Amino acid sequence: MTTMVIAGTPLAEALANVIPPKLVEMGWSSDGDDSALIDYVILMLVNGKTQEQIANDLSNDLLGLGEGDTQALEFSRWLFEQVEILNQQINGGGAPTLNDPTSAQAIPSFADQENAIPQPTGPENGAQDADMAMGDDTASAGDSIPTGPKAMRNGRPAGRGRMLNQINRAMDRGDRGDSALHRVRGPGGGRINAHGQNNGKGRYNQNGGGRMQGGRQMNMGPMTNMSPNDQMQLMSLLEEQARMMAQFMPNFVSPAINPAFQQNGPQQGRSLFDRVERQHGHRQHRHQRNNRTNDQDNDTDMDMKPQGEQDESNTDTVCRFNLRCSRKDCPFAHQSPAAPEGSPVDVSDHCSYGAACKNRKCTGRHPSPAVKSAHQAEEMCRFFPNCANPHCHFKHPSMPLCRNGADCTVEGCKFTHLQTACKFNPCLNPSCPYKHAEGQKGAFSDKVWTPNSGKPHVSERKFVTDEDGAEELIKPGTTDGSQSQEIPRITLDFYWIVRGIPPRIIVARAPLVRSRHEYRSLSTGPYDAAVIGGGITGLTAAYRLLQDHNCEKITLYESKDRVGGWMQSDTVMVESGGELGKLVLERGPRTLRAGFPTCLPLLDMMSELDLLNDVVVTKKSSPAATNRYIYYPDHLVRIPQPRPDSSWYGNISEAWKTVATEPLFDGILKNLWGELTNPAPESGQPDESIADFISRRFGSQVADNMVSAVMGGIFAGDINRLSAQTLMGPLRNRESGGESVLKNMLIDMLHRRSYWKMDDLLALQAGRPRKDLDYWRALKALLNGASVFSLKEGLEQLPRAITKRLLESKKVEILTSANIRCMLQNPSTLDIMLDLGSKQKVRVHNRVIATVKPKHIADMIPSRTARSRFYPAQSVQHLRADENNYAVTVMVVNLYYKAEHKLDIPRGFGYLIPRTVPFDQNPELALGVIFGNETSAGQDTAQNVKLTVMLGGHWWDGMSKSDLPDHDQACKLARAVIARHLKIAVEPLDAKSYLHVDAIPQYTVGHLERMNDLSQAVREDFQNRLTLAGSWYGTSGNGVLDCVRQGYLAATYGVGQTLSADLGLTPWRGYDYQSWDLEGGIVTSPVRFAEIHSSDRKLL
Residues whose CB falls within 8 Å of the CB of residue 872, separated by 6 or more in sequence, listed in order:
825, 861, 1017, 1018, 1021, 1022
Statement: residue 728 has pLDDT above 90: yes
| Average pLDDT of span 178-197 | 42
- Which of these ranges, 74-78, 138-142, 363-367, 1073-1077, has the smallest mean pLDDT? 138-142
Higher pLDDT, 427 or 250: 427
Q: What is the DSSP letter of 964?
A: S
| Average pLDDT of span 296-309 | 44
Statement: residue 395 has pLDDT above 60: yes
Per-residue confidence (pLDDT) for residue 1043, from 0 to 100: 96
CA distance 410 to 424: 24
Select from 927, 922, 950 the least CA-distant residue to 709.
Answer: 927
Select from 998, 1082, 1070 the least CA-distant residue to 1042.
Answer: 1082
How many degrees, rounded to 5, is the angle at CA 995 between CA 989 and CA 998?
155
Which spans in 32-173 are helix H?
A: 35-46, 51-56, 71-91, 110-115, 148-153, 161-171
Higher pLDDT, 881 or 863: 881
| Average pLDDT of span 681-704 | 93
CA distance 748 to 909: 29
Statement: residue 574 has pLDDT above 60: yes
Q: Computed from CA positions of residues 702, 706, 708, 710, in that sequence, does the dihedral angle turn out positive or negative? A: negative
| Average pLDDT of span 957-972 | 93
Residues whose CB falls within 8 Å of the CB of residue 399, separated by 6 or more in sequence, listed in order:
414, 415, 416
Higher pLDDT, 367 or 97: 367
CA distance 140 to 147: 8
pLDDT-derived band at 655, boundaries 50, 70, 90: very high
Statement: residue 1063 has pLDDT above 90: no
Per-residue confidence (pLDDT) for residue 434, from 0 to 100: 84
Per-residue confidence (pLDDT) for residue 444, from 0 to 100: 52
Q: What is the DSSP letter of 666?
A: T
Q: What long-range pairs does 897-904 form, CB within 8 A, spacing at least 24?
A: 897/944, 897/945, 897/946, 897/947, 897/984, 897/986, 897/988, 897/989, 898/944, 898/989, 899/576, 899/577, 899/942, 899/943, 899/944, 899/945, 901/945, 901/986, 903/945, 903/982, 903/984, 903/986, 904/982, 904/983
pLDDT digits (tens, 9 = 90+) for 792-822: 999 999 999 999 999 999 999 999 999 999 9
pLDDT-derived band at 763, boundaries 50, 70, 90: very high
Per-residue confidence (pLDDT) for residue 294, from 0 to 100: 42
Higher pLDDT, 900 or 127: 900
| Mean pLDDT taken over the chain | 77
pLDDT-derived band at 455, boundaries 50, 70, 90: low
CA distance 792 to 571: 11
| Average pLDDT of span 493-506 | 33
Which spans in 569-636 are helix H?
A: 600-608, 623-626
Beta-sheet pairing, 579-586 with 569-576 = antiparallel
CA distance 1068 to 1048: 18
* Backbone φ, ψ for residue 929 (5° rounding): -130, 135
* Backbone φ, ψ for residue 617 (5° rounding): -105, 135
Classify residue 496 as left (phi > 0), alpha (psi -120 to 50) or beta. alpha
Beta-sheet pairing, 1089-1093 with 753-757 = antiparallel
Per-residue confidence (pLDDT) for residue 313, from 0 to 100: 77
- Which of these ranges, 189-203, 835-849, 986-1000, has the smallest mean pLDDT? 189-203
Select from 1095, 1091, 1070, 1073 the least CA-distant residue to 479.
Answer: 1070
CA distance 678 to 682: 12
Cβ burial of 363 (10 Å; 0-12, 13-18, 19+) is middle
- On whether the CB atoms of residues 150 and 188 are closer than 8 A, the answer is no
Residues whose CB falls within 8 Å of the CB of residue 555, separated by 6 or more in sequence, listed in order:
528, 529, 530, 531, 812, 813, 814, 815, 843, 845
Per-residue confidence (pLDDT) for residue 653, from 0 to 100: 93
Beta-sheet pairing, 812-815 with 551-557 = parallel
Residues whose CB falls within 8 Å of the CB of residue 402, separated by 6 or more in sequence, listed in order:
408, 410, 413, 415, 416, 417, 433, 448
Beta-sheet pairing, 832-835 with 843-845 = antiparallel
Higher pLDDT, 482 or 883: 883
Per-residue confidence (pLDDT) for residue 887, from 0 to 100: 96
For the chain, give the number of residues: 1100
Statement: residue 204 has pLDDT above 60: no
Task: Give how far Cα 497 sits from Cα of 391, 494, 502, 746, Å.
Answer: 71, 6, 10, 16
Cα-to-chain-centroid distance, residue 1073: 24
Per-residue confidence (pLDDT) for residue 377, from 0 to 100: 79
Classify residue 755 as left (phi > 0), alpha (psi -120 to 50) or beta. beta
pLDDT-derived band at 646, boundaries 50, 70, 90: confident
Per-residue confidence (pLDDT) for residue 524, from 0 to 100: 56
CA distance 206 to 217: 9
CA distance 420 to 436: 9
Per-residue confidence (pLDDT) for residue 823, from 0 to 100: 94
Per-residue confidence (pLDDT) for residue 29, from 0 to 100: 73
Per-residue confidence (pLDDT) for residue 66, from 0 to 100: 64
Statement: residue 193 has pLDDT above 60: no
pLDDT digits (tens, 9 = 90+) for 251-296: 555 554 444 444 444 444 444 444 444 444 444 444 444 444 444 4
- Which of these ranges, 54-68, 79-93, 584-598, 1004-1018, has the smallest mean pLDDT? 54-68
Per-residue confidence (pLDDT) for residue 452, from 0 to 100: 59
Provide the residue type at 1023 as one letter.
Answer: Q
pLDDT digits (tens, 9 = 90+) for 343-378: 888 888 899 888 889 888 898 999 998 888 888 777
| Average pLDDT of span 696-702 | 93
Hey, what CATH topology would domain 315-378 get?
CCCH zinc finger (4.10.1000)
CA distance 64 to 469: 55
Domain ranges of the chain: 10-106, 315-378
- Which of these ranges, 27-36, 148-157, 772-781, 809-818, has the smallest mean pLDDT? 148-157
Per-residue confidence (pLDDT) for residue 4, from 0 to 100: 78
Select from 146, 123, 149, 138 the least CA-distant residue to 172.
Answer: 138
Statement: residue 870 has pLDDT above 70: yes
CA distance 849 to 530: 6
CA distance 701 to 795: 36
pLDDT-derived band at 31, boundaries 50, 70, 90: low
For the chain, the first-to-last Cα distance in angstroms comes to 70
| Average pLDDT of span 710-733 | 94
Statement: residue 893 has pLDDT above 90: yes
Q: What is the DSSP letter of 164?
A: H
pLDDT digits (tens, 9 = 90+) for 1025-1052: 999 999 999 998 999 999 999 999 999 9
Select from 671, 696, 690, 699 the least CA-distant residue to 729.
Answer: 690
Select from 257, 229, 240, 261 the least CA-distant residue to 163.
Answer: 257
Task: Give how far Cα 73 sits from Cα of 34, 48, 50, 116, 216, Å.
Answer: 20, 16, 11, 14, 19
Three-state SS for 136?
A: coil
Three-state SS for 556?
A: strand
Task: Give how far Cα 550 sits from Cα of 286, 766, 865, 955, Å.
Answer: 44, 15, 33, 47
Cα-to-chain-centroid distance, residue 122: 58
Quick count: other Cβ atoms within 10 Å of Cβ 740?
20
Instruction: Give the CB-side neighbour count of residue 57, counting CA atoms within 13 A.
Output: 19
Per-residue confidence (pLDDT) for residue 533, from 0 to 100: 96
Per-residue confidence (pLDDT) for residue 683, from 0 to 100: 85
DSSP element (H, E) containing 1045: helix 1040-1050
Statement: residue 92 has pLDDT above 50: yes
Per-residue confidence (pLDDT) for residue 347, from 0 to 100: 87
Residue ranges of E strands in 481-526: none
Statement: residue 933 has pLDDT above 50: yes
Per-residue confidence (pLDDT) for residue 27, from 0 to 100: 76
